[in-house]
């Protein structure tokens, strides 16, 4: 369903970026004026599977997911979603993808309802179809009480629900989430987790990055670990525990990273 192979992305370094890099830290990703954020990333995820994308800060998770969501164009490599080549046909791919990140915002001066409807319209929905789909989501996410409030005045939990509705309003075939629970309280985190569970039940594949391994334990069928722009593990949750020599996920994660860096 989702298949990523040999993905590469480099950024031109600006002066600002260069300043941040000290000489002592020799990073294998630096090369003259370029910074190779993603050097070789691959993973795949089938119908009904949830894939957890793990990796330390700056590993290249966001960059990878941005390429997957067609916001960034990869330098090399292929991305296929449901048989569509996203590198060649980004526009077609966008219809198939729902995307949400921890830093995604809403239009503050539009109401929750208007926010969702705007994106529905941008996806080409209209009339009865639009109304029906929106109502369905508003009921599913229990949003009716705050639909007509402006997004600026919503609580974080309400905002996140609106964001979720916005991300899936066009019935995407796959859903991509970049740290969807970062900075959320327990209640709101639960909303997100339930949402991912719901998608899984419907058979929609989900790729999400996270730093919380308990979420991985709860939701994921597959795990991919990225370090310094390279995939250093890609397999089932069971294989992850096995290769990491631990039933405890945090420990397994550390072991895998350690093993990778020593090679």
Partner 1 sequence: MFEVFLKEIKELLRDRKTLMFIVALPLLIFPVIFAVVGYMMAMANLEAEQEVHKVYIIGAEAAPEFTESVRYHKNFELVTANYANKNDIIQAIQNEELDVGIVIEAKAQPSTREQTTWQVIYNDSARINYLFRYIEELKEQYQSKVQTLSFNALGVTKESEMEFLISPIKLEKVDTADARESWGEKIGVLLPYLLIPIVLTGAVYPAIDLGAGEKERGTLETLLLTPISRTNIVLGKFLTVLSASLATASLSILSMGLWLFVARTFVNVSEFTVALSHITFVELLAMLSLLIPLAAMFSSIVLSISIYARTFKEAQNYMGPLSMLVFIPVMISVMPNMELTYKTAFIPVTNVALAIKELLKGTSEIGILAVIVGSSILLAVGLLAFCVRWFNQEKVLFR
Ligand X SMILES: Nc1ncnc2c1ncn2[C@@H]1O[C@H](COP(=O)(O)OP(=O)(O)OP(=O)(O)O)[C@@H](O)[C@H]1O
CA 46 to chain centroid, in Å, comes to 16
CB of 78 to partner 1, least distance (A): 19
Of the two residues 62 and 188, which places its CB atom closer to ligand X in the complex? 62
Please say which residue, 43 or 146, places its beta carbon nearer to Mg ion.
Answer: 43
Closer residue to partner 1 in complex, CB, 128/263: 128
Q: Interface residues with ligand X (CB under 6 A)?
A: 11, 17, 35, 37, 55, 57-63
Half-sphere exposure of 104 (CA within 13 A, CB side): 23
Q: State which residue, 85 or 258, has the beta carbon closest to partner 1.
A: 85
- 37 contacts which partner out of ligand X, partner 1, Mg ion, none, CB within 5 to 8 A by kind? ligand X
Q: Does 62 bind Mg ion (CB under 5 A)?
A: yes
70, interface contact from partner 1, ligand X, Mg ion, none, CB < 5-8 Å by kind: partner 1
CB of 128 to Mg ion, least distance (A): 39
Measured distance CA(28)–CA(233) in Å, rounded:
19
CA 19, CA 36: separation in Å to the nearest integer?
A: 17
Nearer to ligand X, 238 or 254 (CB): 254
Under the rule (CB under 8 A), what is the footprint of partner 1?
A: 11-12, 14, 66, 69-73, 91, 94-95, 97, 99-101, 103-110, 114, 118-119, 121-124, 150, 166-167
| CB of residue 135 to partner 1, shortest distance in Å | 20
Q: Are 54 and 216 in contact, with CB atoms under 8 Å apart?
A: yes
Of the two residues 79 and 177, which places its CB atom closer to Mg ion in the complex? 177
Smallest gap from residue 65 Cβ to ligand X (A) = 8
Binding to Mg ion (CB under 5 A): which residues in 144-183? Answer: none
Q: What is the CA radius of gyration of the chain?
A: 19
- Specify the length of the chain in residues: 263
* Dihedral-angle region of residue 183 (phi above 0 means left; psi in -120 to 50 means alpha; beta otherwise): left
Cα(168)–Cα(152) distance, integer angstroms: 21
Crossing angle for the helix pair 112-122 and 127-140, to the nearest 10 degrees: 130
Question: Shortest distance, CB of residue 103 to ligand X, whole angstroms?
Answer: 9
Can you tell me the distance from the alpha carbon of 241 to that of 104, in angstroms, rounded to the nearest whole number?
Answer: 32
Q: Minimal CA–CA distance to 4: which of 63, 59, 91, 92?
A: 63
**Residues in touch with Mg ion (CB under 5 A):** 62
């Amino acid at each position: 369903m989702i298949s990523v192979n040999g993905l590469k992305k480099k950024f031109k370094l600006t002066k600002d970026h260069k300043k941040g890099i000290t000489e002592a830290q020799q990073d294998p990703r630096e090369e003259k004026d370029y910074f190779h954020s993603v050097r070789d990333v691959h993973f795949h995820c089938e119908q009904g599977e949830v894939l957890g994308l793990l990796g330390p800060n700056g590993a290249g998770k966001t960059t990878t997911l941005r390429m997957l969501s067609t916001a960034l164009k990869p330098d090399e490599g292929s991305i296929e979603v449901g048989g569509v080549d996203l590198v060649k046909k980004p526009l077609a791919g966008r219809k198939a993808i729902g995307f949400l990140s921890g830093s995604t915002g809403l239009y503050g001066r539009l109401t929750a309802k208007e926010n969702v409807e705007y994106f529905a319209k941008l996806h080409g929905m209209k009339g009865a179809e639009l109304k029906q789909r929106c109502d369905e989501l508003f009921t599913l996410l229990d949003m009716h009480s705050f639909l007509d409030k402006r997004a600026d005045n919503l609580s974080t939990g309400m905002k996140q629900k609106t964001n979720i509705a916005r991300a899936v309003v066009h019935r995407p075939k796959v859903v991509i989430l970049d740290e969807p629970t970062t900075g959320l309280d327990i209640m709101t985190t639960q909303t997100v987790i339930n949402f991912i569970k719901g998608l899984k039940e419907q058979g929609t594949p989900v790729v999400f990055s996270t730093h919380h391994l308990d979420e991985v334990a709860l939701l994921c069928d597959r795990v991919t670990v990225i370090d310094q722009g390279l995939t250093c593990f890609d397999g089932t949750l069971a294989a992850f525990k096995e290769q990491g020599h631990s039933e405890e996920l945090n420990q397994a994660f550390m072991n895998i990273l350690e093993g990778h860096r020593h090679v």
